[in-house]
Structure 1
Amino acid sequence: MPHTSSAKKSLRQDAKRKERNRAVKKVLKTTLKKFATVLPTGTPEQKQAEYNASAKQLDKAAAKGVIHKNAAARKKSQLAKKLAIKK
Protein backbone atom coordinates (compact mmCIF):
# COMPACT_ATOMS: atom_id res chain seq x y z
CA MET A 1 0.00 0.00 0.00
CA PRO A 2 1.20 3.52 -0.73
CA HIS A 3 2.35 5.70 2.12
CA THR A 4 2.69 9.17 0.64
CA SER A 5 -0.31 11.20 -0.42
CA SER A 6 1.01 11.49 -3.99
CA ALA A 7 1.36 7.72 -4.22
CA LYS A 8 -2.19 7.28 -2.94
CA LYS A 9 -3.48 9.72 -5.53
CA SER A 10 -1.51 7.95 -8.25
CA LEU A 11 -3.11 4.67 -7.24
CA ARG A 12 -6.59 6.22 -7.52
CA GLN A 13 -5.77 7.69 -10.93
CA ASP A 14 -4.39 4.38 -12.17
CA ALA A 15 -7.61 2.63 -11.14
CA LYS A 16 -9.73 5.17 -13.04
CA ARG A 17 -7.55 4.92 -16.14
CA LYS A 18 -7.66 1.14 -16.01
CA GLU A 19 -11.48 1.17 -15.96
CA ARG A 20 -11.66 3.61 -18.87
CA ASN A 21 -9.15 1.62 -20.92
CA ARG A 22 -11.00 -1.62 -20.24
CA ALA A 23 -14.28 -0.06 -21.35
CA VAL A 24 -12.73 1.21 -24.59
CA LYS A 25 -11.08 -2.15 -25.29
CA LYS A 26 -14.37 -3.98 -24.63
CA VAL A 27 -16.23 -1.83 -27.16
CA LEU A 28 -13.39 -2.27 -29.64
CA LYS A 29 -13.34 -6.05 -29.32
CA THR A 30 -17.13 -6.23 -29.64
CA THR A 31 -17.04 -4.14 -32.82
CA LEU A 32 -14.27 -6.26 -34.32
CA LYS A 33 -16.15 -9.47 -33.53
CA LYS A 34 -19.27 -8.05 -35.13
CA PHE A 35 -17.27 -7.29 -38.28
CA ALA A 36 -15.90 -10.84 -38.28
CA THR A 37 -19.40 -12.34 -38.04
CA VAL A 38 -20.83 -10.14 -40.82
CA LEU A 39 -17.88 -10.79 -43.15
CA PRO A 40 -18.80 -14.30 -44.37
CA THR A 41 -22.57 -13.87 -44.65
CA GLY A 42 -23.52 -10.19 -44.79
CA THR A 43 -24.39 -7.98 -47.71
CA PRO A 44 -21.69 -5.71 -49.15
CA GLU A 45 -23.39 -2.71 -47.53
CA GLN A 46 -23.38 -4.41 -44.12
CA LYS A 47 -19.73 -5.38 -44.51
CA GLN A 48 -18.74 -1.83 -45.40
CA ALA A 49 -20.78 -0.40 -42.53
CA GLU A 50 -19.17 -2.76 -40.03
CA TYR A 51 -15.72 -2.00 -41.41
CA ASN A 52 -16.38 1.73 -41.02
CA ALA A 53 -17.58 1.22 -37.44
CA SER A 54 -14.51 -0.88 -36.63
CA ALA A 55 -12.13 1.65 -38.15
CA LYS A 56 -13.80 4.44 -36.20
CA GLN A 57 -13.43 2.56 -32.91
CA LEU A 58 -9.78 1.78 -33.68
CA ASP A 59 -9.10 5.45 -34.38
CA LYS A 60 -10.84 6.49 -31.16
CA ALA A 61 -8.87 3.99 -29.11
CA ALA A 62 -5.61 5.19 -30.68
CA ALA A 63 -6.50 8.83 -30.08
CA LYS A 64 -7.18 8.11 -26.41
CA GLY A 65 -3.90 6.24 -26.10
CA VAL A 66 -5.51 2.92 -25.25
CA ILE A 67 -3.73 1.26 -28.16
CA HIS A 68 -0.76 2.50 -30.17
CA LYS A 69 -1.54 4.42 -33.34
CA ASN A 70 0.53 2.02 -35.44
CA ALA A 71 -1.36 -0.94 -33.98
CA ALA A 72 -4.63 0.73 -34.98
CA ALA A 73 -3.32 1.40 -38.49
CA ARG A 74 -2.12 -2.19 -38.83
CA LYS A 75 -5.47 -3.58 -37.69
CA LYS A 76 -7.39 -1.29 -40.07
CA SER A 77 -5.18 -2.49 -42.91
CA GLN A 78 -5.84 -6.12 -42.03
CA LEU A 79 -9.60 -5.50 -41.92
CA ALA A 80 -9.54 -3.66 -45.24
CA LYS A 81 -7.66 -6.54 -46.81
CA LYS A 82 -10.25 -9.04 -45.54
CA LEU A 83 -13.05 -6.81 -46.81
CA ALA A 84 -11.46 -6.54 -50.27
CA ILE A 85 -11.06 -10.31 -50.52
CA LYS A 86 -14.73 -10.88 -49.66
CA LYS A 87 -15.89 -8.37 -52.30
Structure 2
Amino acid sequence: ANNCPYKVRVFNWYTYTGKEPVHEGLGHAPEPLNWAFNPDVTVRENGVMEKCSFCVQRIRGVQDRAAVEGSKVQDGDIVPACQQ
Protein backbone atom coordinates (compact mmCIF):
# COMPACT_ATOMS: atom_id res chain seq x y z
CA ALA A 1 0.00 0.00 0.00
CA ASN A 2 2.93 2.33 0.55
CA ASN A 3 3.94 2.21 -3.12
CA CYS A 4 0.73 3.81 -4.42
CA PRO A 5 1.72 7.26 -5.74
CA TYR A 6 -1.79 8.63 -5.25
CA LYS A 7 -2.52 6.96 -1.89
CA VAL A 8 -5.85 5.73 -3.27
CA ARG A 9 -6.78 2.80 -1.10
CA VAL A 10 -10.13 1.23 -0.37
CA PHE A 11 -11.19 -1.20 2.34
CA ASN A 12 -13.92 -3.65 1.33
CA TRP A 13 -16.57 -3.32 4.03
CA TYR A 14 -19.19 -5.38 2.18
CA THR A 15 -19.56 -8.98 1.09
CA TYR A 16 -20.60 -8.15 -2.47
CA THR A 17 -21.11 -11.70 -3.68
CA GLY A 18 -22.62 -13.30 -0.60
CA LYS A 19 -25.15 -16.09 -0.96
CA GLU A 20 -27.70 -14.39 1.27
CA PRO A 21 -30.09 -11.85 -0.30
CA VAL A 22 -29.27 -8.24 0.46
CA HIS A 23 -32.86 -7.45 1.45
CA GLU A 24 -35.81 -9.84 1.42
CA GLY A 25 -38.12 -9.19 -1.51
CA LEU A 26 -35.79 -6.66 -3.15
CA GLY A 27 -35.29 -7.33 -6.84
CA HIS A 28 -31.89 -5.68 -7.09
CA ALA A 29 -29.01 -4.78 -4.82
CA PRO A 30 -28.74 -1.11 -3.77
CA GLU A 31 -25.52 0.84 -4.22
CA PRO A 32 -22.72 0.06 -3.50
CA LEU A 33 -23.66 -3.63 -3.44
CA ASN A 34 -24.68 -3.57 -7.11
CA TRP A 35 -21.06 -2.82 -8.04
CA ALA A 36 -20.41 -6.55 -7.74
CA PHE A 37 -22.12 -7.00 -11.10
CA ASN A 38 -19.58 -5.00 -13.15
CA PRO A 39 -17.86 -7.59 -15.38
CA ASP A 40 -14.77 -5.39 -15.78
CA VAL A 41 -13.90 -5.26 -12.09
CA THR A 42 -12.55 -8.05 -9.89
CA VAL A 43 -14.62 -8.41 -6.73
CA ARG A 44 -12.78 -9.47 -3.60
CA GLU A 45 -14.02 -10.63 -0.22
CA ASN A 46 -14.96 -8.47 2.73
CA GLY A 47 -11.92 -7.28 4.69
CA VAL A 48 -9.49 -6.90 1.78
CA MET A 49 -7.57 -3.64 1.35
CA GLU A 50 -7.20 -2.63 -2.30
CA LYS A 51 -5.53 0.20 -4.16
CA CYS A 52 -5.97 1.91 -7.51
CA SER A 53 -5.19 -0.35 -10.47
CA PHE A 54 -5.08 2.62 -12.89
CA CYS A 55 -8.16 0.98 -14.49
CA VAL A 56 -6.12 -1.78 -16.10
CA GLN A 57 -9.34 -3.30 -17.50
CA ARG A 58 -10.07 -0.06 -19.40
CA ILE A 59 -6.49 0.22 -20.66
CA ARG A 60 -6.50 -3.36 -21.95
CA GLY A 61 -9.94 -2.95 -23.51
CA VAL A 62 -8.83 0.08 -25.55
CA GLN A 63 -5.57 -1.65 -26.52
CA ASP A 64 -7.46 -4.77 -27.65
CA ARG A 65 -9.93 -2.74 -29.74
CA ALA A 66 -7.08 -0.83 -31.37
CA ALA A 67 -5.29 -4.09 -32.20
CA VAL A 68 -8.43 -5.57 -33.78
CA GLU A 69 -9.02 -2.40 -35.82
CA GLY A 70 -5.34 -2.21 -36.78
CA SER A 71 -4.93 1.27 -35.32
CA LYS A 72 -2.82 2.82 -32.59
CA VAL A 73 -4.05 3.98 -29.21
CA GLN A 74 -4.33 7.76 -29.36
CA ASP A 75 -3.86 10.19 -26.51
CA GLY A 76 -7.20 10.53 -24.75
CA ASP A 77 -8.60 7.15 -25.85
CA ILE A 78 -8.12 5.69 -22.38
CA VAL A 79 -10.24 7.35 -19.70
CA PRO A 80 -9.81 6.07 -16.13
CA ALA A 81 -12.84 6.04 -13.85
CA CYS A 82 -11.42 8.79 -11.64
CA GLN A 83 -11.25 11.11 -14.66
CA GLN A 84 -14.91 10.72 -15.60
TM-score w.r.t. structure 2 length? Answer: 0.30
Counting helix residues as a fraction of each chain, which structure ranks higher? 1
CA radius of gyration, larger in: 1
Counting strand residues as a fraction of each chain, which structure ranks higher? 2
TM-score w.r.t. structure 1 length? Answer: 0.29
